Amino acid sequence: MRPVSGLDRPAVQWFFVITAIVLIAVAVLEAAALRRARGEIASVRTSELNARLELSALQSTSARERSAREALSLEVARLRSGGREGSGVPTLTLSPLTGRGSNPPEPSLDAPGKDAAIELRLVLPVRAVRAGSYTIAVRAWTGGETIWSRGGLRATSIEGRATVRALITGDVFAPGVYEVVLTTTSADGKPGDVAAYEVATRSSVRD
């Protein structure tokens, strides 16, 4: 092989040696930076996991507290009504939507007291086929976060209309705009949409 001219010069050789050292140093620094980045990513993932676990624990605690408060409020309402379920309890009747608008509905009623017991009544669509069991979910109109839900409900006839009802507490409908979704579960366990409803509440005058 024919030698390359100039490589036998000391200056050229030192140039290649220094270049190799610089490249090795850059590679070492890049490797160290990559290790630090991986460590930071792992730390962020761990923090995110811990945050999710804490959020889940808080949501579970909140759900238990709401369930206990709801049970207490509903029991008080039943006692006041002489033990007759639903008797004397204010009702909120909602009719199914034909379509959801692009803008939220205007407030149509005052927000109930957070500890007040309310019977929520959802009128089934005229052509809806009655199912064995229904689930009601109350969601934020914007964002869609589920605020309250209950399953295992049955349809009954109220004033000649098929209606699914559930007892709730007033804190579910704090001032705001809500979407109420009614679903059913088929024989193979798959959920199916039945109807959607909307309600918007405002702060009461006494507040």
pLDDT in tens, 112-128: 887 788 889 999 998 87
Closest CA to 141 of 195, 197, 90, 189: 197
pLDDT in tens, 7-66: 566 776 777 778 888 888 888 888 888 888 888 888 888 888 777 777 766 665 665 566
pLDDT in tens, 160-175: 889 999 888 888 888 9
- How far apart CA 197 and CA 172 sit, in angstroms, is 15
- How far apart CA 135 and CA 139 sit, in angstroms, is 13
- How far apart CA 162 and CA 78 sit, in angstroms, is 24
The reported pTM is: 0.60
CB 124 within 8 A of CB 181: no
